[in-house]
A and B are shown apart, each in its own frame.
Chain A
Amino acid sequence: MAVSVEYVTRETATNLWRNRLMTVAAVLTVAVSLSLVGVSLLLRQGVAQATTQWQNGVNVLVFLDAVPAAPAAPTAQQHTIYQQLVQLPYVKSCLYRDQAYDLGEAQRLLDPSAASVLNVASTPASWRCVLSQPSEAQAIARQFNGFPGVQEVQYPQKQIRTMETVVHVLDAVFLVLAVILLLSAAVLILNTIRLAIFARRREVSVMRLVGATNWFIRIPFMFEGIVQGLAGALVAVLVTVALHVVLDHFAGHNASSLLYRMRTPAGDVATTAILVGMIGVVIGAAGSAIGIRRFLES
């Protein structure tokens, strides 16, 4: 039994045009909700990205008391600290950064007015350690804070945690909003389908009478919902990709900025786009399926 492409296209287009206001409302709702989904997926990927970058790099920074002479090599006391560090089971290796290097880094990270008060004599040198078990950073920090010659122990996980908390909250808010909006989108689609069926009740009753199969009757309405879901998803994909491009632009090339670290590879963006598209189709299909069940059963 042939359902011609021409027939389905024509009927679907007519239905969408007749209900264009409802259609626009449904498409916009899908677009907004799926944009939230897309952005929150990008955020997640960004956090994962930033976390791995940090964790593959340095896990613990042991800032040492500044030595006014700013030597290029560790002092004897600093060397002792190094030996204590590397004998710990989880410490893989530690690298010395002298005061001049740390000053340079601070000047890059801080804004110019804050950086201008720094000088090489008062900037601490540091041991930068890579751990085989990044989660041990906190324990090492506890152990070495207050150690003679140690100014402060920092571990980026602290920053990661804060960032993760912020992002998780955002994520949860976005997802709850997205789910609520997706449900309203499904209801809106259901409603446009109901209107379309109502507008075509004569056609539908004649179709029944002359022996059109249920699938033949349903397919144009089904397509109507799917087209709406897909259209909303396309808008959402555009929004997500645009946001990604804009963030990428602002991230610039500053390797230590948060945005830069959160940059997601294009492949991940594509995956997000595909996922968003699929959710759009599912929402459209679900909305119209319920609409058809409720209003088209004989």
Chain B
Amino acid sequence: MIRFENVTKTYKAGTVALQDVSIDIDKGEFVFLVGPSGSGKTTFIRLLLREETPDQGRIWVAGREIAHLSPWRIPYLRRNIGCVFQDFRLLPNRTVFENVAFALEVIGRPRHVIEGQVPQVLDLVGLAGKRDSLPGELSGGEQQRVAVARAFVNRPLLLIADEPTGNLDPATSQGIMRLLDRINRTGTTVVIATHDAGIVDQMRRRVVELHRGELVRDQERGVYGYGT
């Protein structure tokens, strides 16, 4: 599903954000990308979304090499990738339903598809009763569920999350992780960048650790810190 081959990314200022990173993630896997702030996790995700291009190396997503993708194909790449962020990125003046529907509307999905898929995914994230609320009327955890619903409504092959629990308390974080786990069990590949040791230790899934842009650990059923 995802393959990095000797990927190096240096920003203009000269910061080396990723250094010769190679990794394979298979379809249906659930992977934590861990490491302290500044270790290169967000850069990894931005490369996947083709918001950045690597200086060296190659990247495949769903069988397609994306480092040299022509710009007009980028939107179609992104339709295969659902994305969740620490700050939710909801539209404050649209309801829960509209926020989720927006993701389908702007890729040209017809009305009847939207009417069918949005209630389904709201049901999945447990927000069927809040479809007409505005984001400002929801708790942080609920807002993040809306974001997950929006990321998943188009049934992407891959769901990535950058610090999805960064703004949430531990109990709420657990709920979000259970939701992502359920989504993973539908066959969707899930990649979560986090420095939240609690959720990583609790889930016991594959852990890939970055340190100053280098891949220093890749462990099945791992925990946040070193060792097992």
Contacts and interface: CB of A to CB of B under 8 A. Distances in A.
Interface of A: 1-4, 7, 202-203, 205-214, 216-217, 298
B72 A205 contact: no
A4 B79 CA distance: 19
A210 B108 contact: no
Contacts of A1: 107-108
B154 interface: yes
Interface residues of B, number: 23
A247 to B, nearest CB: 51
B72 A206 contact: no
Given A203-B91, A205-B89, A7 B75 contact: no
Contact of B150 (A3, A210, A211, A212): A210
Contact of B77 (A202, A205, A211, A214): A211
Contact of A213 (B72, B80, B103): B72
Contact of B75 (A205, A206, A214): A214
19 contacts: A2-B108, A3-B108, A202-B91, A203-B91, A205-B89, A206-B91, A206-B102, A206-B103, A207-B106, A208-B75, A208-B78, A210-B78, A211-B77, A211-B80, A211-B107, A212-B75, A212-B106, A212-B107, A214-B71
B89 A213 contact: no
Contact of B107 (A202, A205, A210): A210
B72 A216 contact: no
Interface in B32-76: 49, 51, 71-72, 75-76
A298 to B, nearest CB: 8
List the 6 shortest-distance A-B pairs measured between CB atoms, nearest first.
Answer: A211-B78, A211-B79, A212-B106, A210-B103, A211-B75, A2-B108
A221 to B, nearest CB: 14
A214 B73 CA distance: 10
A252 B78 CA distance: 69
Contact of A216 (B89, B106, B110): B106
A209 B110 contact: no
B208 interface: no
A298 B49 CA distance: 13
Contacts of A208: 75, 78
B26 interface: no
Contacts of A298: 51
A209 B92 CA distance: 17
Contacts of A214: 71-72, 75
B83 interface: yes
B105 interface: yes
Given A202-B89, A202-B91, A205-B89, A210 B110 contact: no
Given A1-B108, A2-B110, A216-B106, A206 B89 contact: yes
A7 B104 CA distance: 12
Contact of B78 (A2, A7, A209, A216): A209
Contacts of B76: 211
Nearest to B85: A209
A206 B88 CA distance: 11
Nearest to B89: A206
Contacts of B105: 7
Contacts of B92: 202
A4 B78 CA distance: 21
A205 B106 CA distance: 12
Interface string B89-106: 101100000000011011
Contacts of A205: 89
Contacts of A203: 91, 102
Nearest to B83: A209
A213 B78 CA distance: 10
Contacts of B75: 208, 211-214
Contacts of A202: 89, 91-92
B160 to A, nearest CB: 11
Nearest to B150: A210
Contacts of A216: 106-108
Nearest to A209: B83
Given A2-B108, A210-B150, A211-B76, 14 more contacts: A1-B108, A2-B110, A7-B105, A202-B89, A203-B102, A205-B89, A206-B103, A208-B75, A208-B78, A209-B49, A209-B78, A210-B78, A210-B103, A214-B71
